Structure 1
């Protein structure tokens, strides 16, 4: 069985030490609704973070 992950939206925001808490909360709360959330540091500017919403 193949699992397809679709990117719904991506936004670049200022990095904050607590951003991971929001992503963790969203993943725990909306996992059963087939949503997944990601957070990564921007490659060129480490003070920025990329927040992505996926549908699984």
Structure 2
């Protein structure tokens, strides 16, 4: 999350909220499994990436 926050120029603590906002905007479930260490892309996240590339 820290690397993603730095890349996006946002504060690391705001990343979970940013991800939830994106999930709502895309109309998908969970994009990232944040309970995993390190966080990993979920099945919905993999599908969203495949659809948008």
- Using the size of structure 1 for normalisation, the TM-score is 0.40
- Using the size of structure 2 for normalisation, the TM-score is 0.42
- Rg larger in structure: 1
* Greater percentage in helix: 2
Higher relative contact order (CA 8 A, sep 6+): 1
